[in-house]
Structure 1
């Protein structure tokens, strides 16, 4: 009986430990059209360890986010990365994204971006390739809110771009 329990433990332990090692590769981006300000206000949430990994691979292996070792250069690299990977067209025209800054919330990096001078939205095309070069399973979920509508997109490596049309 003792050997059976040890055998059972040896067989079950790898299954239990492997189950907890599975990781989700996802970011969530909320875009809100604020008509009074003629702006798109964008909040994107990405797991800090994932964005840190991609910045280390792309720019500098010593990059450290959400630690005392974080540098201004890391924030500059983060800004550059996000503005390369997120692109938006409003009514068929590319718009300029203004990176406002970031903060940390538990294990997430929260970045704030704004698009100014948006008078009306007939259509919006969103491309979000954040982390897709590093994680094949990456999904970037987009939630768009206007004064009258709520819509969502799920973007992945096969479809990193989506279009939402409004009447």
Structure 2
């Protein structure tokens, strides 16, 4: 049942118009580089609306008129709304880049020298300031084990245990 729900949810991401507000973040620990590699999947129109509401700027993502500071605005927004904390140590991710495809913006982040722990505190409030029905799914893969957090207003953080 869980795989079916995930497939249905992922199929919704293939449409530019949507009546729901959900993001999916995948984080995977890379033991070779000792870093947490993070990919966020966001609706581009939701991202543009949020930045417009916050800064009164139009990003024009994936166009010839894209705002030169778009990456910086997106990165600053994301790091203020997303964190994975290992133990008592919270480390800000580095912005690796973004890709835009079919109305979806993929944001790539990395946390270097990530301190591995069996409990991770996940916070994801992306778009909570824009949509009352926003939910964020965070999938974390550590040592081949996959755990997920489902976050929404009123439940902005979750302790993920491996």
TM range (shorter): 0.7 to 0.9
Give 1 or 2: higher helix fraction. 1
Return the TM-score normalized by structure 1: 0.82
Q: What does residue 135 of structure 1 align with? A: 131
Change (3 A) 1:87 1:26: same
Q: TM-score, normalised by structure 2?
A: 0.85
**Is contact 1:92–1:125 with CA below 8 Å preserved after alignment?**
no
1:38 aligns with 2:41: no
Instruction: Note the aligned Cα RMSD (angstroms).
Output: 1.4
Matched residue, 2:65: 69
* 2:13 corresponding residue in structure 1: none
Q: Distance in 2 between matches of 1:118 and 1:78?
A: 22
Gaps of 5+ in 1: 1-20
Bigger Rg, which one? 1
Mapping of residues 15-164 of structure 1, within 5 Å = 23-164=19-160
Q: Which residue of 1 aligns with 2:8?
A: none
- Equivalences, count: 146
CA offsets 1:73-115 (integer angstroms, 9 cap, x no match)? 1221111111111122112211121111111121100000001
5+ long unaligned stretches in structure 2: 1-16
